[in-house]
Amino acid sequence: MGIETALAGIAGMDKVRFGGHGGRLGIGYHAHGDGWVELALPYSEEMIGDEDSGVIASGPIFALMDIATSLATMRKLGRFVAHATLDLRVDYLRPAKPGHVVVGHGESFAIKRSIAFVRGHAHDGDPNDPIAHVSGTFMFLEDVSADLAKGASA
């Protein structure tokens, strides 16, 4: 399933364009709920960062978590609002096992007038043995005050 599934039922979906870098990495839908989204990154030899070990580069995991936390923010807000990543930190707890699908769980835990605060983690099969942990912020490029008044914020 395409990652647009994560935004099913969200207003303004027609403004969203999928494909691009996420599409090139093969990132797909995994699951979603209120204020959280999980995406899947399939293994590909094209993403290898260390040829001796076959381990994928850290960049695709960063992209996975950037997109998952971005969609989680739209999920929590309840509509699509243009936004940009302000900062994102990723701790790479251990390398992803070659051949394994990486699942990225992103959540938006606080939405304010200008900024959304996000966090997430990624695993390659066992959610209790994560490969990465992330935290960051997005800035909104439009006013979301009305959405907050309707109870979009936690």
Q: Structure tokens of 151?
A: 């109870």
- Taking the alpha carbons at both ends of the chain, their separation in whole angstroms is 29
The DSSP result for 120-152, as a single string, is EEEESS-TTS-SEEEEEEEEESS--HHHHHTT-
Helical (H) or strand (E) element with 91: strand 83-92
How many Å apart are CA 25 and CA 37, to the nearest integer? 18
Residue 59 in the binding site for other proteins (CB under 8 A): yes
Asked if 58 interacts with other proteins (CB under 8 A), we say yes
- Report how far residue 90's alpha carbon sits from residue 86's, in angstroms, rounded to the nearest whole number: 14
Q: Let me know: does 5 contact 27? Beta carbons within 8 Å.
A: no
The count of chain residues that interact with other proteins, using the rule CB under 8 A, is 36
The answer to whether 60 contacts other proteins (rule: CB under 8 A) is yes
Question: In the range 74-103, which residues lie near other proteins by CB under 8 A?
Answer: 82, 84-92, 95
Kindly state whether residue 64 participates in binding other proteins, applying the rule CB under 8 A.
yes
Least separation in angstroms between residue 143's CB and other proteins is 18
Residues 15-44 as x/- pattern, contact with other proteins by CB under 8 A: --x-xxxx-xx-------------------
Among 37, 56, 77, 111, binds other proteins (CB under 8 A): 56
Question: Tokens 């590909």 label which residue?
Answer: 44
78 or 95, CB closer to other proteins?
A: 95
Applying CB under 8 A, which residues contact other proteins? 17, 19-22, 24-25, 45-52, 56-60, 62-64, 66-67, 82, 84-92, 95
